[in-house]
């Protein structure tokens, strides 16, 4: 079932200039701009601002569209022209003035936004593209209305209940799907090419998180959602939101063939159930990431982008990146460092890494990672904290890794304090991971008297770390030693 975290992982967006170029290259916006430039005083529009039927062939010809060409079915050219015109009107590329009389045609004039296509900045272009996305999104949530006449009530209103369609529910469902696709794209462990199988995306909206084996009813709902999403993603691709590989039409033929064979008592035909790509694959484009994030921000969702922390202090940087995926954290730190003098930045990072609060070990871990990006210019700042109880171990590790000379050897107490601090940071970052278990078992193996000394370490997380070591160590005897040490550590806490 779809669930949104309180704060999404940050997204690494392309520059606004690149995104604006992508927007102008999309078929939907490109066609709308061409029609806006084509329109004039003689363009005929209906009472709702739509092109009259007689104008659609000329509009389609202006766009180079013709039924039967380039795979277009009968009526497609007029439909694409009509869509392009709606986008032009909705985005302000053209302005339509309604007629004074109900049955009269309106008049058309060039919209103020059209000049921004060539003279405006990237933000102007992206604003127009977002308007185009709104129009296409709204169209994508409308069901097949071939039988619309049958559900028109008296007074010309649509009977949505008879149609089996709730506009708000449909829009919320598609927003949720795009939100899940966005989350899958920006999260740690996302597919390398960003492509998500359509069945998985549909299931993320329908199958409850605590459900083991989906019921037949749930599977039918997922199948229905896939067919709906197949149509919707086909519509959203030309506006540049997604790249979409549709459901293989031969797949439906395979299903029909299998059902017919089963009914006749014949052997079932071979069907390749392993090729998940046949069921549709979808990925957000760089422009799509920008567009979905913009919609989420408008809805009040906290959807950060890499670079948001560039003007914040080092404390904000370390606290925020503690919850970022690794690639996003590194990109954010690089942006932050890019606007600062290296030595001053190193000193700010070290100052922000101090503390005895619960989040301090993870801040120090991220401080160490950030300092690795500063380079040799950070050395004076590291030498300044060699005698610091909280930062001295970190400083020695950094100096040794960078081949610095005259690095004083750490005391045994400092080594144990740094060990506790490192494990506490790993616990906060990864929980009881396999990597942490390997670290714990390695520490215990290297130091035969580790637990006898570790419980005395004056660190706020000592007891918690020793308890974790007791949980994680595979050797029962060693695990028991860790638990005893944890008990001793707790007994000496004030």
Model confidence pLDDT, tens digit, residues 78-113: 999 999 999 999 999 999 987 666 666 778 999 999
Between residues 255 and 336, which one has the greater pLDDT?
336
Question: If you count them, how many residues does the chain have?
Answer: 494
pTM value? 0.81
Task: Give the pLDDT of residue 129.
Answer: 98
Half-sphere exposure at residue 280, Cβ-oriented, CA atoms within 13 angstroms = 23
Token pair in block for residue 243: 């790249």
Between residues 142 and 432, which one has the greater pLDDT?
142
Give pLDDT tens digits for 299-334.
999 999 999 999 999 999 999 888 888 888 899 999
| 449-477: burial string, b at 16+ Cβ within 10 Å, e else | ebbeebbebebbbbbbbbbbbbebbeeee
CB 463 within 8 A of CB 493: yes
Rg (CA), the chain: 30
Q: What sign does the CA torsion over 359, 362, 367, 368 have?
A: positive
**DSSP bridge partners of 72:** none
* Residue 261 in this model has a pLDDT that exceeds 70: no
CB 318 within 8 A of CB 370: yes
- Minimum mean pLDDT range among 13-27, 163-177, 229-243, 437-451: 437-451
Task: Give the pLDDT of residue 103.
Answer: 66
Q: Are strands 196-197 and 94-97 parallel, antiparallel or unpaired?
A: unpaired
Which is nearest to 486 in space by CA: 130, 459, 258, 106? 459
CB 211 within 8 A of CB 349: no
CB 332 within 8 A of CB 10: yes
Rounded to 5 degrees, what are φ and ψ at 54? -65, -20
Confidence class for position 445, pLDDT limits 50, 70, 90: confident
Q: Locate tokens 């690639």: which residue?
A: 327
**3-state class (DSSP) for residue 11:** strand
- Minimum mean pLDDT range among 270-279, 336-345, 405-414, 440-449: 270-279
Mean of pLDDT over the chain: 87
Give pLDDT tens digits for 217-247.
888 888 889 999 999 999 999 999 999 999 8
Task: Give the pLDDT of residue 493.
Answer: 73
Give the whole-angstrom CA distance, residue 22 versus residue 108.
28
Confidence class for position 159, pLDDT limits 50, 70, 90: low
Q: Are strands 107-110 and 196-197 parallel, antiparallel or unpaired?
A: unpaired
Q: What is the dihedral of CA 122, 128, 133, 136, to 10 degrees?
A: -150
Task: Give the pLDDT of residue 161.
Answer: 61
Strands (E) in 49-156, as ranges, are 94-97, 107-110
- Averaged over 113-122, what is the pLDDT? 96
């Amino acid at each position: 079932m779809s669930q949104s975290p309180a704060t999404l992982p940050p997204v690494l967006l392309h520059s606004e200039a690149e995104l604006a170029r992508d927007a102008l290259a999309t078929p939907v916006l490109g066609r709308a701009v061409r029609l806006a430039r084509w329109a004039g005083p003689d363009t005929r529009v209906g009472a709702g601002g739509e092109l009259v039927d007689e104008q659609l062939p000329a509009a389609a010809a202006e766009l180079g569209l013709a039924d039967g060409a380039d795979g277009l079915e009968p009526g497609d050219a007029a439909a694409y022209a009509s869509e392009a015109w709606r986008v032009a009107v909705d985005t302000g590329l053209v302005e339509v003035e309604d007629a004074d009389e109900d049955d009269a045609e309106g008049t058309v004039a060039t919209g103020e936004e059209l000049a921004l296509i060539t003279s405006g900045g990237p933000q102007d272009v992206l604003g127009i593209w977002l308007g185009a996305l709104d129009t296409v999104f709204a169209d994508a949530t409308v069901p097949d209305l071939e039988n619309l006449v049958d559900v028109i009530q008296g007074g010309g209103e649509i009977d949505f209940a008879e149609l089996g369609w709730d506009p708000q529910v449909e829009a919320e469902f598609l927003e949720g799907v795009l939100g899940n696709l966005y989350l899958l794209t920006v999260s740690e462990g996302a597919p390398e090419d960003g492509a998500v199988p359509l069945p998985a995306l549909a299931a993320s909206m329908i199958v409850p998180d605590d459900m083991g084996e989906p019921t037949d009813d749930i599977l039918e709902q997922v199948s229905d959602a896939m067919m709906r999403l197949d149509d919707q993603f086909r519509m959203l691709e030309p506006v540049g939101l997604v790249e979409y590989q549709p459901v293989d039409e031969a797949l439906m033929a395979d299903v029909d063939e299998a059902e017919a064979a089963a009914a006749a008592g014949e052997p079932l035909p071979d069907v390749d159930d392993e090729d998940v790509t046949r069921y549709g694959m979808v990925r957000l484009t760089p422009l799509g990431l920008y567009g979905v994030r913009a919609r989420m921000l408008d809805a009040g969702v906290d959807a950060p982008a890499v670079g948001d922390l560039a003007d914040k202090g080092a404390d904000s940087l370390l606290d925020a990146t503690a919850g970022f995926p690794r690639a996003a954290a590194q990109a954010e730190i690089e942006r932050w460092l890019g606007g600062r003098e290296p030595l001053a930045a190193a000193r700010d990072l070290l100052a922000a890494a101090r503390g005895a609060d619960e989040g301090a070990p993870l801040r120090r871990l991220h401080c160490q990672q950030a300092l690795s990006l500063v380079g040799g210019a950070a050395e004076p700042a590291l030498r300044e904290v060699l005698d610091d109880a909280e930062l001295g171990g970190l400083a020695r590790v950094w100096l040794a890794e960078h081949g610095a000379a005259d690095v004083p050897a750490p005391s045994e107490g400092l080594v144990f304090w740094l060990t506790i601090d490192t494990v506490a940071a790993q616990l906060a970052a990864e929980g009881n991971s396999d990597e942490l278990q390997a670290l714990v078992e390695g520490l215990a193996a290297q130091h035969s008297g580790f637990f006898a000394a570790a419980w005395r370490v004056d660190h706020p997380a000592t007891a918690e770390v020793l308890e974790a070591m007791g949980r994680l160590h595979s050797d029962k005897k060693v695990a028991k030693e860790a638990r005893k040490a944890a008990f001793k550590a707790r007994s000496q806490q004030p």
